[in-house]
Structures are given as C-alpha cells and as structure tokens.
Amino acid sequence: MPELPEAETIVRGLRRTVVGETIDHVRVARPDVLRQSRSSFAAGVIGHRIAAIERRGKNVLIQLDQARLIAVNLGMTGGLLPFRAPPRGAARPTHAAITFRFGSGGCLVFNDTRRFGTVEALDETTWRARSSRMGPEPLARGYRPSHLHAALQHSRSPIRSWLLDQRRVAGIGNIYANEALFLAGLHPQRPARNVGREEAYALHAHLREVLNAAIEAGGTTIRDYRNADGGQGEYVRRLNVYGRNEEECLLCGTEIQRIVFGGRSAFFCPGCQVL
C-alpha cells in the first residue's frame, strides 16, 4: 500500500510534468473510485488549470486555480501516470480508472488495479476541514520528539497500531512503522503509553530517517507501486524486517518473526525488540 514516501515520490514526479496544464476533458471508466457523482466531479475540474501538486499524509493533492483541488488517495494499488500524448498499445495503463485530458494533448491517468483508491474534487475550505482531522506530518520541521512522546502517553494501543492511526500522525503505514520500530528497538505490541522519553525520541529520529531514505529511494515496491515515471521504488532492498519473516536479522542473526494483530501483519526481531 502506498505510504508517505510513495505519495511524495509521485508528487515530485508530477510537479515536473503536469503543473500548468489545463483540464479539458475527464473520462471516468471506473466510477466506484469517485466519492461523488460523475457530473459533480467533472464540473469541479473541467476548465481548471493545475497550479501545484502537494501531499498530505498518503494523499496526493492536485491543486487547481479558483481555490479548488483534486484529492487522490492511492488506496492499495493506485498510481498517477502522466503522458505527453494519449497512450496506445502496450503503453496504455491496464486499469485506468480516470483519465484527465489536457489542452496540450497530454493526459494524466489514475490507474488502480484493485480500485480501493479514491478521487474527489473539493474546494479548499472543505479540504482544510478534512485535513484538520489528520495528525501532524512526521517530516514537518515543527513536529518535535517531545510532541511524539506526549501523544504516546495517552494511549494503551500497541505502538505499531498507534503509528498506523492517521489521526495520530499522517502518512505512516505498515512498512515504515515496522522498519522504524526495529531501528528504535521497540516491540510492535508495546503499549504506546509505556514508551519512555528516550525511546520516543529515538523512535522520532528513526521515523524521519526511514521516511527520508525511502523518499530518496523512490519508495518501496513490493508488488504494484509505480512512481510517476512508471518505475519501481528501490527501498525494498533496504528493508530490515518487513516481509523478511523466517530470515535472519541483519544485526543479531535471530530469525525475524511475523505476528498478526489489529488485522495487520507485524514483523520484528525477537532479539532486538524484546517485549
């Protein structure tokens, strides 16, 4: 599932290719990805110019003129692919859900194999209200270790589950939560409120370390994720625990284990992350 690094990688790729384009036409092949009617969506985007591309949590925000935007949640397999001309033959995306045609002749395709992603046209006031219900951005300059430590003290949830709650902190998913917890030496089932000050400070540092490194690597491709150029994310080569159950820990040699709680798999090293 695309997380903060994957969304950020897509945003940076789209900034180079679609900013300044004007949306002339929209083709909705899979209306189930829309959070509104086709007519409302089309009316909200056709004729508008793309002014900027931003990110909030795991969401890609296509900012339009006249204080409007398109909010794209990538879901599990969603991607945004720009083309200078309508793709044909083997170049055509296999699961194009929505296609935005530009006045220049190019287009932008929201491709989503499993169609768990969502697309919606909003005014900025509506989006700001929705964004306010999300947690802080973990890479923001103003997000300090003390903020993380203070927030953890109010929850009995397992620390891995706490990190996945987008109301607590925005953009972190299962891959990077597992990786940061390993580097911080914290068991994924450790109650959040039992994480001490020094441990919280270490977790804060490792979260930022892992997220920044994943962005530099273009994200992590386990199966479906592709960046805006259609390429794969290379951070998969640097994973310490995620998806490595029954393999040896790279630090201590203990066998990596996989457990399931909260409906999600967690990966950890029993030698490095003692409960």
Please list the rounded mean pLDDT of every run of 10 residues in the chain (275 residues).
Answer: 93 97 97 97 98 98 98 94 92 94 97 94 97 98 98 97 98 97 98 98 98 95 75 90 97 98 97 96
Rounded to a whole number, what is the largest CA-CA distance in the chain? 58
Q: Which of 15, 56, 115, 264 is catalytic?
A: 264
Is 82 a known active-site residue? no
Q: Which of 2, 5, 93, 138 is catalytic?
A: 2
| Predicted local confidence at residue 231, as pLDDT | 81
Terminal-to-terminal C-alpha distance of the chain = 27
In order of 46, 129, 160, 203, 270, the CA distances from 194 in angstroms are 51, 32, 13, 13, 18
Is 264 a known active-site residue? yes
| Predicted local confidence at residue 120, as pLDDT | 98
98 vs 34: CA distance, rounded Å: 9
Which structural domains are found in the chain, ordered by start? Answer: 4-131 (3.20.190.10), 145-268 (1.10.8.50)
Task: Give long-range contacts, CB 8 A cutoff, 24+ apart: 128-131.
Answer: 130/71, 131/56
| Predicted local confidence at residue 274, as pLDDT | 96
| Predicted local confidence at residue 226, as pLDDT | 80
Q: Which of 55, 58, 226, 244 is catalytic?
A: 58
Neighbours of 260 (CB within 10 A): 8
| Predicted local confidence at residue 207, as pLDDT | 98
25 vs 28: CA distance, rounded Å: 10
- Do residues 109 and 96 lie in contact, with contact meaning Cβ atoms separated by under 8 Å? yes
| Predicted local confidence at residue 229, as pLDDT | 77
| Predicted local confidence at residue 103, as pLDDT | 97
68 vs 124: CA distance, rounded Å: 6
Is 246 a known active-site residue? no
Is 2 a known active-site residue? yes
